[in-house]
């Protein structure tokens, strides 16, 4: 099963990001606002019924951290602007890298082998499509928790099921 740890984007920020997706043309597939998140660690093929260590790890890490601010400033492309496949929002918060490293270094299972780059995916390109001009904004929110999510791929796009929410120390357990 596909699992990932993530910080979900709060609804008030989703509502501010969703309108910029209206700039998309061609074969871009926008991410549904309620699925917007910052992936902290991704496990593309985790064994069924073996999530207990992941739940315990999430508890340990969340109890050792306080909430923090995440700032959003503008958009970018992966892997590059010349040949984009993903349109995303840049995120700023050093805590995201720290949590990602804590998660991936404390469990004996292979996580996706990509360098961590905190972002919120707005759309994925599925064929020829024009780039969207850079979008600039000034948004932020206080992250109070992260989640463990099960992702199921379907023809209509992925569906997400939150398996557990891990609240940071100052937001209680």
User: Which of the residues are catalytic?
Assistant: 37, 119
Angstrom distances, CA of residue 20 to CA of 33, 64, 124, 130, 138: 11, 36, 14, 15, 13
Structure tokens at 84: 């984009």
C-alpha distance across the termini of the chain, in Å: 27
């Amino acid at each position: 099963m596909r699992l990932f740890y993530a910080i979900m984007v709060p609804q008030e920020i989703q509502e501010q990001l969703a309108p910029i997706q209206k700039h998309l043309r061609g074969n871009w597939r926008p991410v549904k606002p309620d699925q917007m998140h910052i992936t902290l660690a991704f496990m593309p093929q985790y064994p069924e019924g073996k999530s207990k260590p992941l739940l315990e790890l999430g508890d340990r890490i969340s109890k050792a951290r306080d909430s923090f601010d995440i700032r959003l400033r503008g958009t970018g492309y992966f892997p590059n602007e010349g040949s984009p496949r993903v349109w995303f929002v840049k995120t700023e918060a050093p805590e995201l890298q720290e949590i990602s490293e804590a998660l991936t270094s404390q469990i004996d299972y292979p996580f996706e082998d990509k360098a961590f780059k905190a972002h919120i995916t707005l759309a994925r390109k599925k064929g020829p499509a024009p780039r969207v001009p850079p979008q600039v904004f000034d948004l932020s929110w206080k992250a109070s928790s992260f989640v463990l999510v099960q992702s199921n791929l379907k023809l209509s796009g992925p569906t997400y099921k939150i398996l557990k929410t891990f609240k940071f120390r100052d937001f209680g357990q």
